[in-house]
Amino acid sequence: MIGIAPVLSDAEALTLAVLQALLGHVSEARWLRFAGRHLRHLFPCLPGQPGYNQRLRKLAATMNWLIGMLARDTALWIDDVRVVDSTPVECGRSRETARRSDLAGWAEYGYCASHSRYFWGLRLHLLCTLQGLPVGFALTGAKADERHALLDILADGSLLADRSGQIIIGDKNYFGRDFEATLAKAGLCLLRPACKGEPERAGARFFKPLRQIIESINETFKGQLDLERHGGHTPAGVLVRVLQRVLALTAAYLTPISAVGGAPILATALTTAADSSCAAWPARRVRACRNAGQIDNATTLVSVAAAPITATWPMVRHVRPPRCCSACMVTRSNHSVTHRGGGERATGSAPIHPPQSSG
């Protein structure tokens, strides 16, 4: 290791980031004050808000890698039925903000049909299992084609390796003969409602209720994890805050860890949530972690998740993700940026191997 070793390890920084999202703290400064009062015995050396923010930005590539590692460690990864959809990530409202923001050029005006409103910002595209576990995601401009975003997510070979015959359930935006032919060539079966003027598609009435699952996942990100209150003002800032929330939801699906002292409080809470309706799993998983009553339990859960970083990747410190260009500042190694149709796209599909350290 070259240089001064940081007092706060990367595993501890990621644990703080996940706990911040799970416990509903939007402001980083207020979260650090809360952690200083209640979690000082777990984190004796807490950084200031500027240092904490810069540390999380440097760990963006690590977050993306960890999301995939945790998702593959769950029993839900082998599910062959997945749902796909996108949700708006608003980044500003005034015309002056849209003109002068550092996000201009990536963020753009778009329309949200679910809420019948226009917005200025980005779109988060999610590919999830029926239980709500995110297995792939992409952060694009508001006008980016959802079909192109899905193909970018599926470009990661680990999602399709030895898994032919998977079923993807989408809405009417995922249409097109060439698009469906591309998915069929990859061994995927697309189920979607019929567009206007099309004949009724086979099995539409059976998978229609499953569409509510992805809506529940989107609502979990916004209602429980405060996605629309991310507070990012730059591409790097927005990206790391979105990754923080995806990582928090993924960590909530880990195998429940028993509470300190032997009482399986968190395990019981998660099991109770799992016994309920499938569409309500994502939100109840987050609420179970937030309302378990034991902060130590949630900390233990995330600490175990972050342990492989220090165990198998000792040179993780001081990782600075490479920049794609001076305009977008988005990493290229684990979030491939493309410029298609005027919109930039940052995709995260959970690489198998951690990024290399730059020393």
Q: Which domains does the chain have, with CATH numbers?
A: 77-211+324-348 (3.30.420)
DSSP secondary structure letters along 260-275: TTS--HHHHHHHHHHT
Are the CB atoms for 16 and 33 separated by under 8 Å? no
Q: What is the pLDDT of residue 165?
A: 81
Angle between helices 60-72 and 10-22 (to 10 degrees): 70
Give the pLDDT score at 149: 93
Where b means 16+ CB within 10 Å and e means fewer, 262-285 reads eeebbbebbeebeeeeebbbbbbb
Helix axes 177-185, 146-154, angle to 10 degrees: 10
SS3 assignment, position 294: coil
Strand runs labelled E in the chain: 81-92, 108-112, 117-129, 134-141, 166-169, 188-191, 337-340, 343-348
Euclidean distance between CA atoms 168 and 182, whole angstroms: 13
pLDDT at 285: 59
Please say whether the dihedral angle defined by the alpha carbons of residues 251, 253, 257 and 258, taken in this order, is positive or negative: positive
Residues 150 and 176: beta-carbon distance below 8 Å: no
pTM for this prediction? 0.73
pLDDT by residue for the chain (359 residues), tens digit each? 566 666 888 999 999 999 999 888 999 999 999 999 998 888 888 999 999 999 999 999 999 999 998 888 888 888 888 999 999 999 988 888 888 888 888 889 999 887 788 999 999 999 998 888 999 999 999 999 999 999 999 988 778 776 778 889 888 889 888 999 999 988 888 888 888 878 778 777 777 777 788 888 888 888 888 888 888 889 999 999 999 999 999 988 874 543 333 333 333 333 333 344 444 556 655 665 555 544 444 444 444 444 433 332 222 222 333 333 333 333 333 333 333 333 444 544 443 344 454 43
User: With contact defined as beta carbons under 8 Å apart, do 358 and 320 qualify?
Assistant: yes
Q: Kindly give the interhelix angle for 49-58 and 60-72, rounded to the nearest 10 degrees.
A: 60
Q: Which residues touch 125 (CB under 8 Å, ≥6 apart)?
A: 84, 85, 86, 137, 138, 139, 140, 146, 149, 150, 153
- Judged on CB neighbours under 10 Å (0-12, 13-18, 19+), 124 is buried
